[in-house]
Chains A and B, each alone.
Chain A
Amino acid sequence: MRADVLDALARHAATLDESGFDPRADVSVDAWAGLHADLAALGLEFSDITALDRIDAVELVCWLLSSPSEQLSVRTSCLNDRLLAPTLSDVYPPAEFGEREVYDLFGVVFEGHPDMSRILQPDDATTFPLRKSFELAETPW
């Protein structure tokens, strides 16, 4: 891990865990946008943003590339009663679509996003299907 990246993580009180497959940094929702702005300034590239349903919260996972072969994940948790996170779309333009997808499938609203609307499901959809509470019905033959 690069020293300047470690600095940036420490500045935003992120906990770094390198025991898994790839290094992961956990950060609070409040520091989410600031940390990413710093990391982007250090030249890290955006790879993907997605989410995991942790039943009582939604974990946002953002994969960044420090070099073409090295990746790290930055994560934060949004509790179910406050599914709100600051947007990364001004730092990483591709995150615009990724965040819309997270909103569409998990229901996390990104503040400051230019167009927070459904992307994959129809505009009039009401469900957030990738939440574990949403169960699929088996269609009969």
Chain B
Amino acid sequence: MFGSGLAKGLGITMRRLLAGPVTELYPYDHKVLTPASRTFLAMYVNEEGGPACKACNTCIVGCPDHVLRLEKDPDDNRKPLEFVVNSGRCTFCGLCVENCPYDALHFTPDYERATYDRGTLIYHLVHEGAHTGEGDEPK
């Protein structure tokens, strides 16, 4: 009969209304991402407190979007002087983390990185040979 489909539709929407909302109240309930989530790039610290990176260049070669920049320490070929990632251009494909032979890179489960200035999206993970902690999740 004409109208039965309409009535059924009204019934469905009303039942959903009574079932209650599914909304997550994000800024009030901070969402914890799964460990597999690929978000922002950060670098581990080695035993001496320096960057875990060994400046092997694998990630730079593997990066499809040229968002990484590495400068080697002129004194020590196995030490990075600068390690920069342009998060404003990164596609978060994870090839750098996957390719890193020393497991120096990892993703931080953080997503609150919106800024007013594009320049601040360039993270210096290593600056003048020292691990900066930029890119790590803010404590």
B residues sitting closer than 8 Å to A (CB atoms) are 66-67, 86, 89, 122
Contacts and interface: CB of A to CB of B under 8 A. Distances in A.
Interface in A126-141: 138, 141
Contacts of B89: 141
Interface residues of A, number: 2
Give the interface SS of chain A, mostly helix, strand, loop or mixed.
loop
Contacts of B67: 141
B82 to A, nearest CB: 13
- Cβ-closest 5 pairs across A and B: A141-B86, A138-B66, A141-B89, A141-B122, A141-B67
Contacts, number: 5
A6 B9 CA distance: 58
Contacts of A138: 66
A40 B89 CA distance: 47
Contacts of B122: 141
A141 B89 CA distance: 8
A141 B90 CA distance: 11
5 contacts: A138-B66, A141-B67, A141-B86, A141-B89, A141-B122
Contacts of A141: 67, 86, 89, 122
Nearest to A138: B66
A141 B87 CA distance: 10
A141 B67 CA distance: 8
A27 to B, nearest CB: 38
A138 B63 CA distance: 14
Contacts of B86: 141
A141 B124 CA distance: 14
Interface string A104-141: 00000000000000000000000000000000001001
A35 B122 CA distance: 57
A138 B66 CA distance: 9
Nearest to A140: B66
B122 to A, nearest CB: 7
Nearest to B88: A141
A138 B86 CA distance: 15
A137 to B, nearest CB: 12
